[in-house]
Structure 1
């Protein structure tokens, strides 16, 4: 550990404008960031925080509540405050494949292919890519993983004009390959832009089973319409992300 890193209990709290609970939360947050506490570790209990800093149980609880609200820990009865894996951040201004996102963060992307088929395209997807509802189109469902851990559930439709009469790939081929890479190398269909909407949702039984989370867990659902070089639609995909593992960021400019 860096010798300049301040341990969570190295110094006393200070009187002043910053509330004591905020100071404790900040200490623990920095300890997580610097590796003093790693994913799976248990933070000091409320009782230990009370003893260490001479604060009330309410103050200690408020500090831990704040870290849980920030998605850094999960408080479990009988176990305490467990440090979670860091969230993956996705800038909203950049369109990239899941594999590219993970590679830029030093993580290894992998996939579990749930299904590949030619199926009647749904009304929502048909509208987004400009074909009649019910027309056969390539439908791909996959679990997206980072370092082997499930991050999201992807439900993608490909415009029928992209692949034509080409044979369908096997599920095993897609377990280790980016969809964007396959589209570009096999058909010259390079995705260069698009539009995306994001909304909150909760995990149903199917999501929970594939993403290894409890039913009712918080989700981030992104609906993306992806375009090729000539601005024609190539893909429509709904990606349901675990909210405890993923977050979106955006740079703002004041005009």
Structure 2
């Protein structure tokens, strides 16, 4: 296969566009290794300088990652997370072409802290329902999700939340739609248990997103914390 050296577009840009099209078409899926520089030179009848410039351009565009001594690999698509408004993880995955999934770790009742009691507007003797789940994309761990609800959501205690949207489950049961959230973001490092669930090493950087999420009327809310594998998400402001 040859590129067209009779047009004004530089060969390295033509090659970069050709490789990008092959990636988009699934010829080189996420995590796969591209042919070697020599193989690309032979396949497209170009110099090694042209190949390197094309690979550099795709690496800068976050389509490829070059690993010394190992080769050039297609990066995994990062899940784009908008910070304004409320969008379920399930819908975020669908928008990026991933199959969302969820594994329930625990559903339990807990005594809230004083801060949580104030945020949720709870009385002194009221408990919270805690739902902790591992969220997946195409079967791969992406984040740990912990949600704390007031007593009006205790119907979730017996709900099957495996591979289902929590927001959709709540909407179907109550008609409540969450529309606004106040968020606090910070970088934290995985402890032993978090690392085990997420399939990373202890101390791996995680993006922590703490939220107070409100419904359309402002009457109902819950507290959320998401621990995201930092290099698998792209934040959009």
Structure 1 residues 114 and 85: alpha-carbon distance in aligned structure 2, compared to 1, 3 A threshold:
same
- Whether 1:223 aligns to 2:210 is yes
Whole-angstrom CA distance in 1 between matches of 2:59 and 2:205: 13
Structure 1 residues 168 and 212: alpha-carbon distance in aligned structure 2, compared to 1, 3 A threshold:
same
Whole-angstrom CA distance in 2 between matches of 1:150 and 1:134: 36
- Whether 1:242 aligns to 2:229 is yes
Structure 1 residues 99 and 48: alpha-carbon distance in aligned structure 2, compared to 1, 3 A threshold:
same
Structure 1 residues 67 and 104: alpha-carbon distance in aligned structure 2, compared to 1, 3 A threshold:
closer
Q: Counterparts of 1:51-66 in structure 2 under 5 Å?
A: none
Determine the structure 2 residue equivalent to 1:149: 140
- Whether 1:43 aligns to 2:34 is yes
Determine the structure 2 residue equivalent to 1:180: 167
Paired residue secondary structure (1:168)? helix
Structure 1 residues 147 and 120: alpha-carbon distance in aligned structure 2, compared to 1, 3 A threshold:
same
Structure 1 residues 31 and 197: alpha-carbon distance in aligned structure 2, compared to 1, 3 A threshold:
farther
1:200 Cα deviation after fit = 2.8
Paired residue secondary structure (2:227)? strand
Structure 1 residues 134 and 156: alpha-carbon distance in aligned structure 2, compared to 1, 3 A threshold:
farther
Structure 1 residues 208 and 49: alpha-carbon distance in aligned structure 2, compared to 1, 3 A threshold:
farther
The counterpart of 1:83, out of the listed 70, 74, 77, is 74
Determine the structure 2 residue equivalent to 1:93: 84
- Whether 1:212 aligns to 2:195 is no
TM-score, length of structure 1 as denominator length: 0.69
TM-score, length of structure 2 as denominator length: 0.74
The counterpart of 1:126, out of the listed 117, 124, 127, is 117
Q: Gaps spanning 5+ residues in structure 2: where?
A: none
Whole-angstrom CA distance in 1 between matches of 2:29 and 2:156: 46
The counterpart of 2:189, out of the listed 169, 184, 202, is 202
Q: Gaps spanning 5+ residues in structure 1: where?
A: 1-6, 13-17, 251-255
